[in-house]
Every structure is written in C-alpha cells, then in structure tokens.
C-alpha cells in the first residue's frame, strides 16, 4: 500500500485524480485543499509531513490566473515558487517522492518545433516566471522529483476554457476566438492517469517530463472542435469567428507545443481531438 498526499485537491486535476481513486485500491490517497493544508505555511507543511508517512506527494496546487498574476506577483510566487520549495524540503526530509505540475509557459514561444525538456526556458509572464522558479527551487533541494510540464489543461471539473465554451454555446453567444497562439489542449484526466502510472510502477526515472495530448491547435481550433462535438443542429450552433490577436495584460507564448517523446516511455499518448471526444461523450 502506497500513501500519497495530493495538494490542490479541489482543482480540476485534483478532482480528476479523485475520480479514478476507486480503481486504485493499493494507493491510500490523502486529498487536501488549500483550506485543509496551507502549503504556503512552512510550519503547517512540516507538521503535516512529520505526522504522516507518505511515499509520494502530488502537488496539483498552483496560482493559475495568468492575467491576475501580472498585478498579484507576490501571491503567484508564494504559491508557485515558495510553496513548491516548502513541499520539496519536506519531501527530502521525509524520503517522499515529489510529483509537481508545471507549465508550457516557462517557454517564450519563439521556437517553431515542439519544445523538449532540455530546451532553454525564458518565461514572458509573471505566471510563467513563478512556475519556473518553483521548478528551480525543487531541483536545488533534491533529486527525487518528477516535474511534469503540461499545457492548456481542461476537464469537466473546475474553471477552464473548455467549460467556458460549453456555457457560451448553451447561451448561443457570439464567439470571437484568437488564432494567435498554437499549443496543445490537454485533458486533465489523461494527466491524472500518468501520475497514477508513475506511482503504481514505482518509476525511478526522475526528472522533467513534458505531457500533453498529441497534435497542435489554436484556441480557435479547440473551440471549433468543442462545438462540433456538441452535435448541435446548424441553427443551434453559436456563431464562431477567428480573430488574429486580442489585448491581454500578460504575454503568452505564440507557440508552446510540447514534445512527448520522453513521457511515452511511461504512458501512451493520444490526440487532443480523440481525448476531447471521449470526455464529451462521457459527460454531455
């Protein structure tokens, strides 16, 4: 029996892990939201670890509001960088493997081919910089970590682009969606499966991994695919128009597709269209 702490339990990824928990009777999960365990409080973290015997800590907790991070820099760094450090220190002290979720936003988006794990990082937003600092803090403390960079995460839980489009479609809203950025939508349920696979197989190939679904898309492509999968009559479909760019506080990588070669040694990856279709088939 492996004992696993999951922080950020109420977020979309945390809820996806909770959903598959019944299929994994040999894992004793401890799901903690920020209310249950404040990971920005070093004493609370250390006390919690010393009172439990964990094998793994899965850090799903993050400050993810890319726009708001520009004006809440201190808060973004506290959650994404300092808290990651506190968890890494507690893991090192208690011989716990850390599985930490990071982002494609650690890159600047100037590359024209998918980013590999060893590519130079150069975040162009506070959010991206705070997540990179979290990665660096972990790496400075110990070696028993999996840092999983992912992109454009969505699920049937929490707040995300996918759920926003579903709501807008229901309201028959007029949609104007950008074609400026290219990346890969990632079903958080697939990321949850990867995390559990690492735990179940007791994988010791520590390091940084890139994980998303396969293929690439713009936000416009993603929206179009969501609407198509709703199987609405033509008259029922919301109007959808592409727009080249839109004004935002935070800069975003123009291209942030991740190379999945390394992670395919652990789990099979599927196309973002197939994964989206599976989710919508099961939840609509």
33: Cβ–Cβ under 8 A, 6 or more apart, which residues?
A: 8, 9, 10, 14
Vertex 99: Cα angle to 95 and 103 (nearest 5):
150
Helix axes of 161-170 and 219-229: crossing angle, nearest 10 degrees: 50
| CA separation for the pair 152, 103 (Å, rounded) | 9
39: Cβ–Cβ under 8 A, 6 or more apart, which residues?
A: 7, 45, 59, 61, 79, 83, 86, 87
Distance set, CA 135 to CA 20, 215, 216 (Å): 27, 25, 25
Q: Which residue in the block uniquely carries the two structure tokens 């840092």?
A: 147
Distance set, CA 257 to CA 247, 265, 278 (Å): 22, 19, 21
Residue 127 falls in the annotated catalytic set: yes
| CA separation for the pair 215, 213 (Å, rounded) | 7
Among 195, 182, 188, 81, which Cα is nearest to 140's?
81
Exactly one of 56, 63, 77, 127 is catalytic; name it: 127
DSSP 42-86: HHHHHHHHHTS--SEEEE------HHHHTT-HHHHHIIIIIHHHH
Q: What is the largest CA-CA distance in the chain?
A: 60
> First CA to last CA across the chain, in angstroms?
35
| CA separation for the pair 247, 176 (Å, rounded) | 13
Q: Which amino acids are annotated catalytic?
A: 127
């Amino acid at each position: 029996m492996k004992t696993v702490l999951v922080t950020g339990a109420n977020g979309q990824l945390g809820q996806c892990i909770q959903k598959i928990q019944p299929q994994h009777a040999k894992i004793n999960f401890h799901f903690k939201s920020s209310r249950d365990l404040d990971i920005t409080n070093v004493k609370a973290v250390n006390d919690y670890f010393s009172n439990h015997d964990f094998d793994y800590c899965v850090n799903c907790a993050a400050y993810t509001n890319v726009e708001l991070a520009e004006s809440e820099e201190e808060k973004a760094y506290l959650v994404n960088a300092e808290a990651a450090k506190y968890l890494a220190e507690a893991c090192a002290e208690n011989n716990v493997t850390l599985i930490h979720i990071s982002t494609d936003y650690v890159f600047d988006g100037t590359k024209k081919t998918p980013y590999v794990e060893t590519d130079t990082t150069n975040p162009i937003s506070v959010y991206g910089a705070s997540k990179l600092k979290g990665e660096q803090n972990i790496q400075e403390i110990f070696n028993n970590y999996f840092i999983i960079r992912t992109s454009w995460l969505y699920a049937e839980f929490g707040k995300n682009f996918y759920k926003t489009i579903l709501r807008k479609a229901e309201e028959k809203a007029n949609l104007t969606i950008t074609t400026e950025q290219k990346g890969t939508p990632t079903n958080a349920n697939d990321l949850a499966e990867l995390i559990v696979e690492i735990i179940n197989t007791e994988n010791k190939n520590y390091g940084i991994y890139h994980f998303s679904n396969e293929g690439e898309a713009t936000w416009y492509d993603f929206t179009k695919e969501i609407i198509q999968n709703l199987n609405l009559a033509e008259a029922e479909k919301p109007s959808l128009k592409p727009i080249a760019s839109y004004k935002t506080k935070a800069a975003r990588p123009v291209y942030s597709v991740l190379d999945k070669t390394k992670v395919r040694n652990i789990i099979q990856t599927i196309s973002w269209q197939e994964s989206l279709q599976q989710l919508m088939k099961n939840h609509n």
